[in-house]
Structure 1
Amino acid sequence: MLKRSKRIFAILATAVLLVGCGSGTKGEGAKTADGKKEITWMCYGQPQETEVYEQVIKKFEEKYPDVKVKLVSTTQDQYGQKIQAAMASNTMADVVYMGPGDVKAWVNSGKMLNLDEYISQAENDGILDLDDVWELALKKYKYDGDIIGQGSLYALPKDVGPFGFGYNKTLFEKLGIPLPDKEKPYTWEEFMEVCKKLTNETGGDDSSWGTGLNVNWSLQPFVYSNGADWINEDATEVTVTDPKFVEALQYFADQTLKYKITPSAEQAQTLDTYQRWLKGQLGFFAIAPWDIAAFEELPFEYDIIPWPAGSTGETASWLGSVGFGVSANTKYPQEAVNLAIFLATDVDANKMVADKQIQVPNLKSLAKDYYLNTDNNPHNKQAFIDLIEKYGKPLPGERTYNAEWYNKFFEGIQDVLDGKISAKDYCEKVQPEMQALLDKAIEREAKEKAKN
């Protein structure tokens, strides 16, 4: 799952970050002074997650009294670099966060433990029911050596995070604008007309705008709902020159360039759009489950609705995720897998993270009952469930060996948003560069497979 960096907590234990399963001697793992087996869990997250997972770990240690868990946390921005360093030095923690886009590379390089044997035993012992876990989340961590989504399981999902769309109900009521339908999405034309009514740039604190979306995370819903994507179905061809893709990108840019329903670049430098959302100055803003805890003290009422629909007539967005993977070199594989199972599927652990408004529960039964019945903002949590079950898609980089080709698209995207180049010209310019990087990723994948 992908989060806003300014809301991700600081390093808690950098000094021990690379201390993991490689620390034992003569084939034995580390043990505490009182003889307990010590396993390390390396992760990232927000302060609310740190608090709740410390409590979850206590419950795990009560269930498995011969195990001690060392929690090592860093920021999401730094995690990738540090996990790669740990892999290179064979000092990976026993349990780590692994994103869907990491599965091919990490498994092919022999870094991750195949969980099948341990999962089967856990199911036989009655401590795990995979049927109650979101199937699409599980598929993100299955790999048969060729295709993601089938084969062996290499991680248990921490979550599946629908990237939702919120609106400022208080601002709508203040301006006398009819509230959005919680089930039927706006068309692009309807959305733009409402945003124009919400925009009231006075120059003071009472200024308001229709929206203020970050292109890196919010362009995808417009592209997907217009029937386009960054790559073709078999993930071999970059398709950003598709007219439907170009139309979606230009529509996104025109929110600022043509319709002026977002704060200008100059205004965003004074106060970015996230801060303006917090102040109640935006009508619409992207909201995911991991945001909700940080929005408890907002000075206005908000809720979740479907993203505006393009030519397909259907809403769409992306689904983030991260999984609990286990190091192939762990000295305590059973204990490490037990921790991954507990974190992912224990009923009390799922309830604890749901209570903290951090994520949709991994367990479908809890998500459709306990989570939906929590009495706090946003009330329309069903919109999150709908994205998981009907309208959500993976981010493009998850489908390939690495995301370098995908990241290339956003390197020069500001020129489109500033009107220095049209969406069509930009896509035609960047497509060959993206394709070259995708071809390299495909070639690298083939070489890694050949080694194994």
Structure 2
Amino acid sequence: MGRRSAAALVAATLLLGGCGGGGDGEPKAASGSGGKVTVEWWNIGTTEPLKSFLARMATEYQKQHPNVVIKNLPIENEAFKARMTTLNQSGKTPDLFTTWGGGVLKQQVDAGLVKDLSADASSWMGSFTPAALQPYQVDGKTYAIPADIGMVGFWYNKALFAKAGVTEPPATWSAYVDTVKKLKAAGITPIALAGKEKWPGHYYWAYLAMRIGGLAALQQAATDHDFTKPPFVEAGRRLKELADLDPFQKGFLGAAYNTPDGQAALVGNGKAAMELMGQWAPSVENEAGKGLGDDLGFFPFPAVEGGAGKATDAFGGGGGYAIGADAPAEALDFLKFMSEPKNHRDVVASGAVLPVLKGVEDAVKDPNLATVARALSSASGFQLYLDQAYPPAVGQEVNDSVAELIAGKKTPEQVAQAITETAKSE
């Protein structure tokens, strides 16, 4: 998700409900009866402050355009993906919907489900940073408009680190492992992990593969579909060594991400020292738990000694909006409205997203998010989440196999082999 511009995840009831008609979220054809046009908008803005901002955007646009109804449907991340998959299989999409780009967007493009925005949005697309647009470009054309960008890193409790005698965030993997050991020795749970959700665990394996093999290794694997090469196997071995330290909270294999006893709440309530998560982590920690205030800090994923990857290479993504092939013109006009500098500056200042427009960087007020923004602006390279960059089946196998590795049910070699077999069968 990653994730992932806001990564609040789903209760099972939401996965099962809401794929009926009309009022519970099934897209309807845009209606012109009575002069009204309806834009069905599926998004993942289920946590504050993003939820309120998106609702305000819909209200303000409707006031300016009385003939348009923006049907705002916030859906939690995993439920959203499940419902989109079902809808896409029937050859449909909402008029306007969240996308993370990568492999899923390419499949939608290939199926003719989304509009090419290259020409229609050309007059204002130049306002976006190239890095923000990149995930939504397929064969030189742009199929979505970015709304957020960010990176995954470690969010940590400064007070708990100090209690364990850790004076500064670790910059190398060996120092990170030492930090975990010091936290355990101090009686502190080092890491919170939503094992039930699986995608948070893939961050560790992906980052380790990046740090060991460099971005080139991940890019090559996307072409030759071979994940059995040394960087990927070694990433599994390093992750297994970490898991063997028993660094996660009790019951982590059944833990969700944003529930009151889930990953974010454990960090937000001071019951675990850190989590590896995207830029949305502080808002979800505040929503699911109490939040850490000034005790919350951020550090990038450490370098792996001897690895070919750069410590300044970032792993992450963002969120954007694509427009269904049969959507009314008002869908793009609403998207342009949300992307206006004033509106984007407002949502950036709220802490909900990081800037995707040029010249809005100064609106980032939170010091931790400013750290993330600076890391992104100086990143030497960027890799989209693997469960978004690769075709969906490959991304799912990455998540599943890495989860089994962390649970002690697969070896590093078996993980590499399983992902390779899935990739080659696509």
TM-score (norm 1): 0.77
Task: Identify the residue that residue 181 of structure 2 maps to in structure 1.
Answer: 196
Task: Identify the residue that residue 444 of structure 1 maps to in structure 2.
Answer: none
Aligned residues of 2:221 and 2:227 also touching (Cα < 8 A): no
Task: Identify the residue that residue 211 of structure 1 maps to in structure 2.
Answer: 191
Determine which of 108, 111, 114 is the counterpart of 2:113. Answer: 111
SS at match of 2:368: coil
State the superposition RMSD in angstroms: 3.1
How far has the Cα of 1:306 moved from its partner? 1.5
Task: Identify the residue that residue 277 of structure 1 maps to in structure 2.
Answer: 267
Task: Identify the residue that residue 346 of structure 2 maps to in structure 1.
Answer: 352
Aligned residues of 2:153 and 2:298 also touching (Cα < 8 A): yes
Partner AA of 2:356 in structure 1: N
Aligned residues of 1:165 and 1:307 also touching (Cα < 8 A): yes
Q: 1:362 to 1:380 in 2, by over 3 A?
A: closer
Unaligned runs of 5+ in 1: 23-28, 145-149, 202-206, 442-452
Task: Measure the CA separation in 1 of the matches of 2:60 and 2:387.
Answer: 35
Partner AA of 2:342 in structure 1: D
Task: Identify the residue that residue 37 of structure 1 maps to in structure 2.
Answer: 37
SS at match of 1:138: helix
For 1:223-372, list aligned pairs within 5 A: 223-228=209-214, 231-233=218-220, 235-257=222-244, 259-260=245-246, 262-263=247-248, 273-296=263-286, 297-299=290-292, 301-310=295-304, 311=307, 312=309, 314-330=311-327, 332-333=328-329, 335-343=330-338, 345-366=339-360, 368-371=361-364
Stretch deviating more after TM superposition (90-99 or 47-56): 90-99
Task: Identify the residue that residue 2 of structure 1 maps to in structure 2.
Answer: 2
For 1:20-169, list aligned pairs within 5 A: 20=27, 22=29, 29-31=30-32, 35-48=35-48, 49-89=50-90, 92-100=93-101, 101-120=103-122, 123=123, 128=124, 130-144=125-139, 150=140, 152-169=141-158
SS at match of 1:47: coil
Task: Measure the CA separation in 1 of the matches of 2:147 and 2:411.
Answer: 40
Q: What is the aligned-residue identity percentage?
A: 19
Task: Measure the CA separation in 1 of the matches of 2:134 and 2:252.
Answer: 43
Q: Alpha-carbon deviations, 1:349-391, whole Å to 9, x = none?
A: 223322432211222311x2111xx1x4x53622344236514
Residues 1:426 and 2:414 aligned together: yes
SS at match of 1:381: helix
Q: 1:58 to 1:9 in 2, by over 3 A?
A: farther
Residues 1:186 and 2:171 aligned together: yes
Q: 1:341 to 1:218 in 2, by over 3 A?
A: farther
How far has the Cα of 1:307 moved from its partner? 1.2
How many correspondences in the alignment?
Answer: 397
How far has the Cα of 1:17 moved from its partner? 4.6
Aligned residues of 1:19 and 1:92 also touching (Cα < 8 A): no
SS at match of 1:235: helix
Larger radius of gyration: 1
Task: Identify the residue that residue 394 of structure 1 maps to in structure 2.
Answer: 384
Unaligned runs of 5+ in 2: 194-199, 256-260
How far has the Cα of 1:59 moved from its partner? 2.4
Task: Measure the CA separation in 2 of the matches of 1:88 and 1:249.
Answer: 34
TM-score (norm 2): 0.81
